[in-house]
Each structure stands twice: as C-alpha cells, then as structure tokens.
Amino acid sequence: MELVYLLGSIISNTATSILLSLLLLLRVLLRRLFSSLSSDYGDGITLYEGVVWHERRRPVHHSFEYKVRYALIDLDRSPQFPSSNHLSAHQARTVAATTGPVFLLTIPPSVGYEQNPLSVYYCYDDNDQDSSNGSLRKCISEDMQGTWKMKATAPGNELSVVISVEHPNFGNFFCATLRAQRVPSMKVPDHKLFFWLMPHKVAVWIYWHALKLWWKNVTFIQHPRYSNPTYREEAVSLDMNLNCCKPELFGTTSLCPINGKIVTPHEFRWTDAKWPWS
C-alpha cells in the first residue's frame, strides 16, 4: 500500500511540475516581449551556485556530491518570501538576540515542489552585516539521537557551511559541506528559471543514494514516532538543556514543562511532513 501511495505522489508531483513548467516557459516568453514584467521573487535576493558534499562513515562508508543553487534572502526586504516553515526576521532576531538584518540561505520552491535539506539564518547586529568580523551566532537543528556541529562563513562572494554529526552508537559518522560562489544578478535574467527543478534534483539524489545505502545493507531508520511516542517531549527537554528557550517566540506552552513549571516557547515548531516524508 505504501508503494502505491509513493507512486501516486510521484505521478501527482510530476504532473503538477510539468504543468507549472509550461506556465513558467510562457512567462519567460512573455517577459521577452514585455520587459516590464517582474523577473524575480522580489528585492533583497542574492544567488549562489556551488557543490554539496556528503560523507557517511559508519556503519558503511558512502559519499557523493552534487551541484546546487541557493538563494540568500534579506528577510526584512522580502518579508513575503518565507513559507510558514521558515522563521521571520523578527523570530530569527529573537532566537539570536541580535538587532540587525537577517538573511536566510535556502532553496526556493520550484514549479509546485519544495525540497530543502538545509536552511541557514545569518543574523547581524545593527550596521554590522558588511563587517569582515561578522559571524553566525547560532545554528539550531533538529536533534535525532546525535550531536550536530555547524560552522558557517559570513556570505560574501563565497560562502561555506560545514556540518558534522556525532552519534551515540556510531561516533563521528556523518559530515556534509556546502561551498558556493555568488552569481552576478546580471547573468540571471529570471530567478525562477534559475531555480527550475532544483528541488526535484535534490530529491532524486536523496532517493538514489538512499537506494544505494539500502543495497549496502544499511538499516533503514524509521521516524521516531513509531518507536517512541514521547519523542517530542524528549526533544523539548534536549532543547531546554541547550538553554535555547525564548518566551516571546511562538506563543505556545503546551510542550515545555521543566521541573514542574511551564516554560514558554522555544525555537522550533512541529510540522507534519508531506508524503513520502511523513
């Protein structure tokens, strides 16, 4: 039955993407005829192109790399851009305790499909976004029985993000890097065309290498909700132990009981993933 749902999802997403791709082609043709048509997502968008590299060291070695395109979005200048799955500029400033601009590095949705393995928020203090000494203050990621370490350079003509994961059973078993160069906007007449099928390509790489790992007899790890009904409460406890709770962030207290007290909002929200990720 799950295979039927998966095939149905693939067929549905493919049909939607084909239709929206045809509409995108029509939009590009119209833009060439009428140059006044908007060509991007809005102000405050910087484009990057680079390479993502993954290495899994245990229980078997497996590595690969693929080309990727990212957008760096000034969330104050483009407040309409992020979806509900992303923080607003105000929320990110609350998390990082900063007062200046906030930039989001992400892969935008394309022709009806979204697949974004990594989003990074760069938070600056006032008038400090161009400082050579600027640094990313904090990265927050979901903890799945591992300790995540992240290093990132301030985005300029180049940027890099390095992630390593320490697992309680496998040790230092995973590393990933993103290295990218800025793409001059004059070379990209249409941003949506620049990101055409980018999320789809990422999904294909994920499934293809998941199949390779299965072929290497790597055990599939199911979502924790199937083996641990209290995984959300445990994640909240881990979050609190990191001293990451911010009372003013999301306005909910239902999952933050610490030492008998209700501690208000922290820096993540629970979102049910769409099939086939659910």
- Rounded mean pLDDT, 181-199: 87
Confidence bin at 142 (pLDDT 50/70/90): very low
Contact 190, 75 (CB under 8 A): no
- The torsion region of residue 230 among left (phi > 0), alpha (psi -120 to 50) and beta comes to alpha
Backbone phi and psi for residue 74, each to the nearest 5 degrees, phi listed first: -75, 105
Residue 105 has pLDDT above 80, yes or no: yes
How confident is the model over 13-49, as pLDDT tens digits?
Answer: 888 888 888 888 888 787 777 765 555 555 688 999 9
Residue 188 has pLDDT above 60, yes or no: yes
How confident is the model over 215-245, as pLDDT tens digits?
Answer: 888 877 777 777 888 887 777 776 666 555 4
Question: Domain segments of the chain: what residues?
Answer: 1-37, 38-215, 224-262
DSSP state of 274: P
CATH among 2.60.120, 2.40.50, 2.30.29, 2.40.128 for 38-215? 2.40.128
For residue 241, give the 3-state DSSP assignment.
helix
Confidence bin at 275 (pLDDT 50/70/90): low
| Residue 276: predicted pLDDT | 52
Confidence bin at 152 (pLDDT 50/70/90): confident
Which amino acid appears at position 221 of this protein? Answer: I
Which amino acid appears at position 56 of this protein? Answer: R
- Per DSSP, the residues of 86-147 read S--HHHHHHHHT--S-EEEEE---BTTB---S--EEEE--TT-TT-TT----------SSSE
Q: For residue 198, what are the contacts with CB-CB under 8 A and spacing of at least 6?
A: 68, 69, 107, 108, 110
- Whole-number Å distance between alpha carbons of 93 and 181: 26
